[in-house]
């Protein structure tokens, strides 16, 4: 497994970084699953009081879904596309919306598609210039 998500916790704040800068932090299945796992971990960690979610690199918070990867599910038919792609993305945004600790998106560049959906799902989004 690659390191699609970076995690650091200090001073009561968990920093979660989408880490695919070469792909403009496009959301692939591995990244989404890892982000959901980290949110589960952070939720029960009493030393963490807030979460900052950002993207690696200078160009993008997230360019949205990794179309190349998602197209494989779509090619398998509607059931696979809904199961693998649609439900996974909906699970992530619902998780962020209902997260019991404040989640702040530090939007450092492009936020298209699923990246934009993440910024809409968090409690507060702050954009760079």
Nearest to 124 by CA among 42, 19, 71, 53: 53
From CA 25, how far away is CA 78, in angstroms rounded?
A: 26
CATH number at residue 36: 3.90.226.10
| Per-residue pLDDT tens digits of the chain, which is 129 residues long | 569 999 999 999 999 999 999 999 999 999 999 999 999 999 999 999 999 999 999 999 999 999 888 888 888 887 887 777 788 999 999 999 999 999 999 999 999 999 999 999 999 999 998
Number of independent structural domains in the chain: 1
Buried b (16+ CB within 10 A) or exposed e, 11-28: eebbebbbbbeebbbbbb
3-state secondary structure of 28: coil
Structural domain containing residue 114? 5-127
Q: What is the pLDDT of residue 129?
A: 80
């Amino acid at each position: 497994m690659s390191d699609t998500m970076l995690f650091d916790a200090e001073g009561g704040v968990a920093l979660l970084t989408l880490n695919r800068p070469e792909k403009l932090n496009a959301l692939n299945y591995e990244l989404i699953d890892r982000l959901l796992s980290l949110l589960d971990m952070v939720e029960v960690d009493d030393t963490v009081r807030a979460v900052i979610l950002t993207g690696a690199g200078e160009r993008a918070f997230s360019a949205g879904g990794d179309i190349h990867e998602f197209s494989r599910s779509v090619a398998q038919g509607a059931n696979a596309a809904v199961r693998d792609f649609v439900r996974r993305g909906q699970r992530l945004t619902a998780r962020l919306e209902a997260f019991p600790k404040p989640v702040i998106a530090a939007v450092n560049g492009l936020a298209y598609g699923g990246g934009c959906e993440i910024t809409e799902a968090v409690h507060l989004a702050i954009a760079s210039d």
